Amino acid sequence: MSVSEGRVVVTGATRGIGRATAHAILERGGQVIAIGRDAGLLDELRREDEERVRIVAADLTDLENLPSVAEEAFAAFEGVDGLVNNAGMARHERVGTIQLESLEAQLRLNLMAPLLLSQLVAEHFGSRGGAIVNVSSTLSERVASGTAAYAASKAALNAITKALALELAPGVRVNAVLPGVVDTDMIRAPRLRAGETPPLGKELEARIAAQLEALRSRHPIGRLGRPEDVATVIVGLLDHPWQTGSLVTIDGGLSIA
């Protein structure tokens, strides 16, 4: 597929990497079907380009509803050419405190939904072919304390990426990006006290800033990632005609530091 002429489904499109990916596709002339839970933020995105953006409000953890979500996405521009499985969640829990509800929620959104959506989209591609990019994490290969469930879900997503690439070739290319520390709501949220919501007190703001600075200083590139850094690679993988089954690390050099 070519992003400049493609119709691309982006999940988790209202914030962070998903929103940046939607913008990157639009900048290259493509069309976006944005999926997310926040109808208000989806509508904001739609208003940015009403001709080339369609929206589908959905909770992707409702796995039984995914066929209906997919059909709505397919109908938006009379077909799709690409899928970016970006929607995800991370809960900071040490192994001894992980609850079944938390484990299941992360597996549903981070693993099961991408797999099931990929099945539906691949069937829709048919002989036309297409491209799928999964958004994984460097934590899938290099875990940190408190990330067991999240890391496991992303490690499984890596395996699914390779299996899909093998089984759907040659018509469908499937790759994954493994972002490191990207400055998004997801990276900031675990650093908030339980129940704390913006605006934050000065003490908490200072603590979060100090933690992020400590993370920044460990990167050879000298800064945290930005959503646009990851979006650029995602769009490149959607376009690349000879790349499939790849796990592409984007972490500012943190993994080699």
- The residues assigned a catalytic role are 150
Helices (H), strands (E): how many in the chain?
Answer: 9, 7
Bridge partners of 131, per DSSP, are 82, 173
Tell which phi-psi region holds residue 245, choosing left (phi > 0), alpha (psi between -120 and 50) or beta.
left
Is the CB of residue 83 less than 8 Å from the CB of residue 132? yes
d(CA 143, CA 255): 11
Residue with structure tokens 């992707």?
60
- Say which DSSP state 201 is in: P
User: Among candidates 156, 170, 185, 184, which has minimal Cα distance to 247?
Assistant: 156
Positive/negative CA dihedral, 196, 200, 206, 212: positive
Q: Which amino acid is it at 159?
A: A
Q: Where are the beta strands (DSSP E) in 80-194?
A: 82-85, 130-135, 172-179
